[in-house]
Chain A
Amino acid sequence: MSRIEVKIGGFGGQGVILAGMILGRAAALYDSKDATLTQSFGPEARGGSCSAQVVLSKERNLYPCVTRPDVLMVMSQPAYDKFIDEVVPNGLVLYENCLVKPGPLPEGCRAFGLPATKIAEDMGRKMVLNIVMLGFLTSLSGLADVGAMRRAISDSVPPGTQGLNQDAFNRGYEQGKALQDRHDDS
């Protein structure tokens, strides 16, 4: 892995930045990679458009920006519409499919949807949808070590919610794994 660019997009308040933080922390602290997280948001506290960019690499990351994501994970339609054309050919697109209706994809891209909002609601906590999506990302992208992700989640979520978040991660992970297996079979 020389350099992988990941973009995560959604609405402010969905935990977009936290998702980027967890991915970066897993890679930088527990998976001996270099990780740079940058973020983009407006002056509003919630509801505005928001994105997190993570650059992962084996060597020291010099250039901090994501320009052509290899992996795009989106949790809102505006984020999908805004970022889809940036994805590299043969890139990976993951979307929350209660909130995003995907359109035409860049050449060779694989796209996978997950009803993460519904999964999170079934768990009684809609706010863990970002963690469900991270589980999905981990199984389908192979970007980060599962153990590293689990440790990073525990470090990053409020005390007392670790169990809930690990459960959310596992649910997304399993769904992704099932899809991956089906994809590999076909």
Chain B
Amino acid sequence: MSADPKGVLTGVHFLDGDHACCEGALAAGCRVVFGYPITPSTEVVERIARRIPTVGGVFVQMEDEIASSIAIQGAAWGGQKVMTVSSGPGISLMMEHIGYAAMTETPCVFINVQRAGPSTGLPTLAAQGDMMQARWGSHGDYEIIAISPNSPQECFELTVHAFNLAERFRVPVMFMMDESVGHMTERVVIPNPEQLKIENRQPPTGPKEEFLAYRPKKNMVPEMAPVGAGYKIHVTGLTHDERGYPVMTPEVQHGLVVRLVDKIRKQRDQICINEEEQIEDAEVVIVAYGITSRVVLRTLQMARDKGLKVGVFRPVVVWPFPEERLRQLAKQVKAFVVPELNLGQVVLEVERIAAGDAKTILVPHAGGGLHDPLQILQVVEEVLR
């Protein structure tokens, strides 16, 4: 269906990534945001606080991140599209509730404008150090979806998409911006409401008395009824049966947790989005995401000017990881070069998938700035020598 016109600021704007993300959320139909402002994500909630009342929504500045991350889930069960917004130190506090959202299959979006860590680190400077935390940060086995935009335009478009995926799969979606993209300002084109594709959670289709809140449909996702509409609903972080009642057996645990994981892993072809540049004849492929995927386009240009056969592979959705495509590429290329604004996170996944078919070389950066494209080129040249 198309978007609620109220939330869509159609037009051509000059916006930073944080503001574009806010507009994406409103366009997607998000009408409840709870948060505790933190640099470099503050501009998202500043704009939300100003804009959301004008479209019939609500923003509450909560007492902390822990409260924000669970209050949104109450609102989600009340039928709302919801998000919270933070950066590393706040996201660390939210981990318990990200697991809760995964376990209770609560559709929600967590915006993480990454800054350099650990701890409070460098508040105003970029890093990509939270990529593994996004995937593994809460305890137990579960899957989330993580999206990594590289421009303000994508901060708009992919925030809309993040909400769509959260609704379709009933899963927390981690929107992994970074300071550099959040504070980068460019032209942002917001289309007409009818040009935006908006997805909503699947409501119950059967009779009320037969409704089971956690009975999966064909896509492994249960239908979702809002609290108060007359359906029996029970929400718990404990292992639960299809009614939602706690059952403490290995069989129910197996059935539930395997489904929570499989609904993402086995449907990754519906979720993964990749971009490829000049990959056909490439001997070395640079794998980069987020802001680094723009930095490496400069490296690519320099390499091609020198006649080097180099390509770029960019996972736009980082989790689940595009295993199949990368496995194909591993058989075609000599090496993957993986620059990240961290000391080696996504590179581990690339190395695992390459499984010795292609060399995998990390170009680390502890954060606080971006890579020098030349530094990445030097690594590429070394590999090709």
Contacts and interface: CB of A to CB of B under 8 A. Distances in A.
A43 interface: yes
A36 B184 contact: yes
A24 interface: yes
Contacts of B297: 62-63
A35 B184 contact: no
A25 B187 CA distance: 8
Nearest to A54: B185
Most A C-beta atoms less than 10 A away, residue of B184, B297, B301 = B184
A147 interface: no
Contacts of B183: 38-39
Given A37-B184, A38-B180, A64 B294 contact: yes
Contacts of A63: 294-295, 297-298, 373
A136 to B, nearest CB: 22
Nearest to A67: B372
A35 B180 CA distance: 15
Contacts of B294: 62-64
Contacts of B123: 43
A186 B295 CA distance: 42
B119 to A, nearest CB: 14
A154 B112 CA distance: 33
Given A29-B14, A35-B14, A43-B39, A64 B184 contact: yes
B261 interface: no
A12 B123 CA distance: 16
A123 interface: no
A28 interface: yes
Contact of B187 (A29, A41, A42, A65): A29
A41 B184 contact: no
Contact of A37 (B13, B39, B185, B295): B185
A132 interface: no
Contact of B186 (A37, A39, A40, A42): A37
B66 interface: no
Interface in B181-231: 183-187
Contacts of A40: 124
B185 A36 contact: yes
A140 interface: no
B298 A28 contact: no
19 contacts: A28-B186, A29-B14, A34-B186, A35-B14, A36-B184, A36-B186, A37-B16, A37-B184, A37-B186, A38-B183, A38-B184, A39-B183, A43-B123, A61-B186, A62-B298, A63-B295, A63-B298, A64-B180, A65-B295
Q: Which 4 A-B pairs have the closest CB atoms?
A: A37-B185, A63-B298, A25-B14, A62-B297
Given A36-B185, A62-B297, A63-B298, 16 more contacts: A24-B185, A28-B186, A34-B187, A35-B186, A38-B185, A39-B183, A40-B124, A43-B39, A43-B123, A43-B124, A61-B186, A62-B294, A62-B301, A63-B294, A64-B291, A65-B295
